[in-house]
Chain A
Amino acid sequence: MSIDAIIGPAPAPPLARQPEEPLLKVEGVHTYYGKSHILDGVSLEVGRGEVVGLLGRNGVGKSTTLKAIAGLVHPSQGEVLFEGSSIVHLPPHRVARVGIAYVPEERRIFPLLTVLENLRTGLDRGGITKARKTELLDKVYAYFPVLAERRNQAGGTLSGGEQQMLAIARAMMLEPKIILLDEPTEGLMPRMVSQILEIIGVLRGEGVAVLLVEQNVPLTLEASRRIYFIEKGVVRHHALASELQVNDPVIHQYLGV
């Protein structure tokens, strides 16, 4: 046992503060699917309340990166730190409980549960008061009035856009510190796309971080503070979104066909 564990850490001298610890830190994560190497040492960081975009061609490992963070695929090597502690060996339901919500590309609404029951899968957990539950429900119903209208309708009967809203609303029920959003605008009408952008803004306003995987470059540049470019299972480039344009050569290099 270190001396710090016994007497507590020495107070940091003022003015010489450590740079703030990132909320989420992925370090050299490798994953395999059968024999094929999907992630080949992905490393990235997301700060508290920060929106970070993950861009790259299809099949380079963007979705797998999110799944590895959520605990749904197990890295053969590497580390995932959340608020400084390792979560890489936690089962997925424990990962959700520490404050990481996952919105998959296929949305994966529970088709036979009603809209309200879908929300309750994230809402009914230990240590939450009834008043807080009502508050959270009222909040998402205010953001997504259509979900309030359809609260007693089976999730499987919603349209694609409504299912996407429900998937995000359901993730918000966990009161997460970060939401992993996998291609939220895929297959949506343009009006819905701008609504997704709005929702990401709302989340950022509430201090919820977002790790966003997208094909829609303008949306990603507008929503995110920083962008990681991923290729063949590894992060190749990293930039501030404000320094990039939609027709930037960097974007052509990593996304162009």
Chain B
Amino acid sequence: MEIPLDQILIQTINGIVTGMILALVASGLTLIFGIMDVVNFAHGELFMLGAYVGVLTLAATGDFWIALIVATLAIALLGALIYLTTLRPLIGRDPLTTILATFGVSLVLQNFALWQFGPVARKIQEPITGHFQLFYLDYPYYRLAIAGLAAAIIGGLWLFLKFGTYGIWIRATTQDRVMAQAMGIPVPWVLTAVFAIGSGMAAASGVLFGPLVGVNSQMGTSWVLRAFIVVVVGGMGSLSGSIAAAIFISLLEAYASLWVSPAQAVIVSFIVLILTLLFRPTGLFVPTAR
């Protein structure tokens, strides 16, 4: 079957846009995993609740950008509370208990959203409504804006980790928690802050992606699944690995949906996941010198 070049280009752009959102979700997840070995199953629900806070703030203020900021801060605070009440008491226990705890939190949050907001999807009005001509398509500028914003947020996180004092604290804690404490770094505070940052990033992704799909209580589930695939394929705890893997997997899915339906294209991600676990379990995109 002959695939026209314009379709390949469109799918490349689509793949990069979804890949950037996925990278934003996954970098919060990988940041949390890297520093505290916590596999956060509630991450998708923080994404979903972020979108809902966005819906409510948008309804109250009418400004998308205020909604984005309010949702990020509110969910960051919620993340800190979840960490302090649910995960901190489990420090030093079997990792399985933290998995079960975050899974429990995810069920509670999902059902809370269903109870509060009902089963009907809500809409977030995109802040940028223009289109441009991409071959035979009217392609919305907003999709490109999402990719740019996600890249900016990830870039900001990278700068924060690389150059700030708190970035050094976070990286030192990731590498050797005991020695970080012995150097006077307030590790309990650092862990709470990292959980809050990761949660806030999930919320920002939820608000940014909301206009494309509609907001409902289940929307986090499929994203967190893909984010987990990305985190494993990219190398657990590696930020740059997660970003590369997010774009790689999204592009693969986008190209695959040229032949099969998008629902079936997801299979490609699972094939990549299985092959990674079989042949390169430390991750496809981690430098070997790590």
Binding site for B on A (CB under 8 A): 70-72, 91-93, 96-97, 101-102, 104, 108, 110-113, 117, 120-122, 124-125, 170, 174
Chain B contacts for A102, CB-based, 8 A: 182
Contact indicator B181/A96 (Cβ below 8 Å): yes
Given A91-B188, A112-B171, A120-B168, A72 and B183 touching (CB < 8 A)?
no
A93 touching B176 by the CB < 8 A rule? no
Evaluate contact between A125 and B184: CB separation under 8 angstroms: yes
Q: Are A113 and B171 in contact (CB under 8 A)?
A: yes
Most interface-central of A93, A97, A112 (chain B CB within 10 A): A93
Q: Is the CB of B187 within 8 A of A121?
A: no
A112 to B172, CA, bound (A): 8
Report whether A96 and B184 are in contact in the complex, using a CB–CB cutoff of 8 Å. Answer: yes
Residue interface bits B230-253, CB-to-A below 8 A is 1, else 0: 000000000000000000000000
With a CB–CB cut-off of 8 A, which chain B residues contact A71? 181
Task: Tell me if B78 counts as interface (CB < 8 A to partner A).
Answer: no
Contact B169 A121 (CB under 8 A): yes
Residues of B within 8 A of A91 (CB): 181, 188
Cβ A110 vs Cβ B176 within 8 A: yes
Complex alpha-carbon distance, A93 and B182, angstroms: 6
Alpha-carbon separation in the docked complex, A70 to B171 (Å) = 22
Bits for B137-174, please: 1 = Cβ < 8 Å to A, else 0: 00000000000000000000000000001001101100
A108 touches B179 (CB 8 A): yes
| A121 touching B183 in the complex, CB below 8 Å, given contacts A91-B188, A113-B168 | yes
Look across to chain A and name the residue whose beta carbon is closest to the beta carbon of B166: A124
* Chain A min CB distance to B239 (Å): 12
Residues of chain B within 8 A (CB-CB) of A110 are 171-172, 175-176, 179-180
Chain B residue at smallest Cβ distance from A108: B179
- Which residues of the other chain, A, contact B290 by a CB distance below 8 angstroms? 112
Which secondary structure dominates chain B's binding surface? helix
Contacts of B172 in A (CB 8 A): 110, 113, 117, 121
Task: Tell me, in angstroms, the Cα distance from A135 to B185 when the chains sit together.
Answer: 21
A124 adjacent to B168 (CB under 8 Å): yes
From A70, A72, A120, A170, B165 is in contact (CB under 8 Å) with: A120
State whether B181 touches A93 (Cβ < 8 A). yes
Contact B175 A121 (CB under 8 A): no
Chain A residues in 8 Å Cβ range of B59: none
User: Do the beta carbons of A72 and B185 come within 8 Å of each other?
Assistant: no
B274 interface residue (CB < 8 Å to A): no
| Least Cβ–Cβ distance between A244 and chain B, in angstroms | 31
Is B178 in contact with chain A by the CB < 8 A criterion? yes
What are the residues of chain B within 8 A of A96 when measuring CB–CB?
181-184
CB-based nearest B residue for A120: B168
The docked-state distance in angstroms from the alpha carbon of A101 to that of B171 is 20
Q: Which of A104, A110, A121 has the most CB of B within 10 A?
A: A121
Q: Does B186 contact A (CB under 8 A)?
A: yes
Q: In the complex, are the beta carbons of B183 and A174 less than 8 A apart? A: yes
Q: Are A93 and B186 in contact (CB-based, < 8 A)? A: yes
Determine the chain B residues whose CB is within 8 A of the CB of A111 once the complex forms: 175
Pairwise interchain contact B176-A72, C-beta atoms closer than 8 A = no
| A121 and B178 contacting across the interface, CB-CB below 8 Å | no
Contact of B176 among A97, A108, A125 (CB under 8 A): A108
17 extra interface residue pairs, beta carbon distance < 8 Å, beyond A93-B184, A121-B168: A72-B181, A92-B181, A97-B184, A104-B179, A104-B182, A110-B172, A110-B176, A113-B175, A117-B168, A120-B165, A121-B172, A121-B184, A121-B185, A122-B183, A122-B184, A124-B168, A125-B184
Q: For B175, what are the chain A residues with a Cβ–Cβ distance below 8 Å?
A: 110-113
State the Cβ distance, B133 to closest chain A Cβ, in Å.
47
User: Which B residues are CB-close (under 8 A) to A170?
Assistant: 183
Closest chain A residue to B184 by CB distance?
A96
Q: State the Cβ distance, B21 to closest chain A Cβ, in Å.
A: 28
Contacts of A125 in B (CB 8 A): 184
Residues of chain B from 238 to 290 with CB closer than 8 A to chain A in the complex: 290
- In the complex with contacts A110-B171, A121-B172, A174-B181 CB distance below 8 A: no
Name the A residues within 8 Å of B182 (CB-CB): 70, 72, 92-93, 96, 101-102, 104
Q: Which residues of B contact A70 (CB under 8 A)?
A: 182
